[in-house]
Amino acid sequence: MAHLRLAVLASGRGSNLQALLDASEAGQMNASVVVVISDKEKAQALERARKHGISAVWVNPRDYRGKEDFEAVLIEVIKGHKVDLILLAGFMRILSSYFVRQAGIPILNIHPSLLPAFPGLNAQKQAIDYGVRYSGCTVHFVDEGVDSGPIILQAVVPVFPDDSEETLAMRILVEEHKLYPQAVQLLSEGRIRCAGRKVIISGEGEVDG
């Protein structure tokens, strides 16, 4: 079982980052976050990384002329930390196909809806406005589209009639914090492979010993 070195890209609060740090420290995930990168100087995610003695890097998009120049720096930082896996955790920028190709390692994203429903921004609001009775979260591979890559894991939560965007977001977040470390653990165990769009998880559904 390989111990994975993770780069986490986050723009804000970083509660998913925190869940990953906690799972790693508790030995529930055979992986360590080695660098956190943000496009926002004041992101709480950077603060969380520093508290854990983890390299915290702010890359200011305004310092670069174009998206590729900005993304080239992200790649440079990631490569400098000998990372096995890139995790997007509330990174609120769409990465280009240049980034996906240059990375050369798997990239995962967590999204607060049951994809392919409600991709893009404000997924929880989209779910409430649409009137679905269930929503949830999805961990998926990042491909060259928006929230469109092969789905690794999903978790479902109910949507209640009196839900606000915030109450639904919090209910989904509880599941996100369990799902992301689980997906990383499956990868570290070498149990995940892609067959076209489908993700095959070996041992799934088998009864333990």
Catalytic residues: 111
Tokens of 124: 């929880």
| Binding of ligand GAR by 10 (CB under 6 A) | yes
In the complex, what is the shortest distance from the CB of residue 58 to ligand GAR, in angstroms, rounded to a whole number?
Answer: 15
Question: Measured from the CB of residue 12, what is the shortest distance to ligand GAR in angstroms?
Answer: 4
The HSE-up count of residue 89 (CA atoms within 13 Å, CB side) is 33
How many degrees, rounded to 5, is the angle at CA 85 between CA 138 and CA 72? 105
| Pick from 111, 42, 33, 40: nearest CA to 78 | 33
Place of tokens 């890097």: 57
Using CB under 6 A as the binding rule, whether residue 40 contacts ligand GAR is answered as: no
C-beta atoms surrounding 165 within 10 Å? 15
Peptide bond connecting 61 to the previous residue in cis, omega within 30 degrees of 0: no
Using the rule CB under 6 A, which residue among 49, 74, 108, 112 binds ligand GAR? 112
Give whichever of 110 and 199 is closer to ligand GAR, judged by the CB atom.
Answer: 110
Decide: is 111 part of the binding site for ligand GAR (CB under 6 A).
Answer: yes
**Segment near ligand GAR (CB under 6 A), from 9-17, 66-74, 76-84, 182-190?**
9-17
Assess 12 for contact with ligand GAR (CB under 6 A).
yes
Token pair 């392919």 in the structure block, residue: 116
Q: For residue 128, give the H/E element and its range.
A: helix 123-130
136 contributes a contact to ligand GAR by CB under 6 A: no
Angstrom distance (rounded) from CA 205 to CA 64: 48
User: From the list 89, 115, 128, 142, which residue makes contact with ligand GAR (rule: CB under 6 A)?
Assistant: 89
- Binding status of residue 14 toward ligand GAR by CB under 6 A: yes
Selected range binding ligand GAR among 34-42, 70-78, 108-116, 127-135, rule: CB under 6 A: 108-116
Binding site for ligand GAR (CB under 6 A): 10, 12-16, 89-90, 110-112, 123, 173, 176
